[in-house]
Amino acid sequence: MKIVVTGAGGMLGSDVAAVAERMSHEVVALDREELDVTDPGRVERLIVREQPGAVINCAAWTDVDGAEEHEADAELINGEGAGFVADAAAKAGAKVIYVSTDYVFDGSEQGPYTESDETKPINAYGRSKLAGERATAHFNRASFIVRSSWLFGPAGGNFVETMLRLGEGGGPVVVVHDQVGCPTYTGHLAAGLVRLVDSGSYGVHHMSGAGSCSWYEFAMEIFRQAEVVTRVMSSTSEMMKRPARRPANSVLASGREAPIELPDWKRGLADYLKRREQPKPERPPAQRAAGSTVRRQPVLDLHRESEGAEVAEEAADDQGGDVRGQATADPGAEERE
């Protein structure tokens, strides 16, 4: 199958393109310079010209805190942009996958969230992603909405790298313990997405690393597996004072009869740590769309592949992990492609 991957230069999109190629699909991988998803005319021309069997839309604004101040920009990319991609895919007769987030939920439930649970985002980022879900489903009946969470992978800043940097710097490291979710390795999620696109199981899917933990527990496991000795302290979300509220519970589970299940998050962490030790293979340039030209995305300075963790005022993880290096922060305190 011919698959167009948007956001192919990002943490998830790069893995999706690589996995799809390994599974013998013909891949047209488009990074943000090659396709501005907020330009409906260009999106339609490119996708209709390519005539793919499927489009996997990984282009997104992922700066959770930044979306609070720039909600219209986040909405343009995550909401309207998703609609443009889905509409163009429909006109080309193609399926579309839209990658969404656990942040469409408010975190008030005691147990895991399934596909049928009510959405109620509590921050601008979550609202923009929910808008993208609705736009995708509206414009393309052959659509998959895939919610995942707490992503980490090799092609972008993420919580694992933040922890290793702080831990190897001597620590101590302070991490929140009152936010619980499912860490997800992009290599595993990418494989799940490519499996899903080969099916006709349209609708909403939850797909994240099996099991759950708090950011504090995640940090402890990172240091254990990486064999880094450092001091780790726990804190609360209230002490971190982030611009965007995070759901206390964003654990995802699937209520489908035959869901695509990903490996346990600890296995994902192990696979990631093993992969980061290997030399990066040289890959040939990704196939470009016929007649494509390089085009810069707008407001690039506001879009970071890493979007949540704060280390001395620097965003450094993918989905909301609140952390600070004690040596460079107040004592006791805790996307885009």
pLDDT (average), residues 227-239 = 94
Range scoring the smallest mean pLDDT among 98-107, 217-226, 284-293:
284-293
Number of domains in the chain: 1
Quick check: 206 and 113 in contact, CB under 8 A? yes
pTM, rounded to two decimals: 0.86
How far apart, in whole angstroms, are the C-alpha atoms of residue 53 and residue 1?
6
Residue 337 lies in a domain: no
**Residue in the structure block whose two tokens are 């995550």:** 78
Q: Report, as residue numbers or ranges, the catalytic residues.
A: 125
Residue 132 lies in a domain: yes
Residue 219 lies in a domain: yes
Quick check: 337 and 13 in contact, CB under 8 A? yes
Helix (H, G, I), strand (E, B) or coil at 11: helix
> Which CATH number covers residue 228?
3.40.50.720
Residue 122 lies in a domain: yes
Residue 333 lies in a domain: no
Range of the domain at 320: 2-328
pLDDT per position as a tens digit, 245-294:
999 999 999 999 999 999 999 999 999 999 998 876 554 444 544 443 33
Q: Which residues of 206-232 are buried (b: 16+ CB within 10 A; e: fewer)?
A: bbbbbebbbbbbbbbbbbeebeeebeb
Residue 205 lies in a domain: yes
pLDDT for 128 equals 98
Which segments of the chain are extended strands (E)? Answer: 2-6, 26-30, 54-57, 95-101, 143-148, 151-152, 173-176, 180-181, 184-185, 203-206, 213-214, 232-235, 310-311, 314-315, 323-325
Does residue 153 have a pLDDT over 60?
A: yes
Q: How far is CA 79 from the centre of its chain?
A: 15
DSSP-derived secondary structure letter, 272: H
Does residue 149 have a pLDDT over 60?
A: yes
Residue 43 lies in a domain: yes
pLDDT per position as a tens digit, 44-76:
999 999 999 999 999 999 999 999 999 999 999
pLDDT for 319 equals 44
Between vectors from CA 80 to CA 197 and to CA 244, what angle results, nearest 5°?
A: 95
Helix (H, G, I), strand (E, B) or coil at 251: coil
Residue 284 lies in a domain: yes
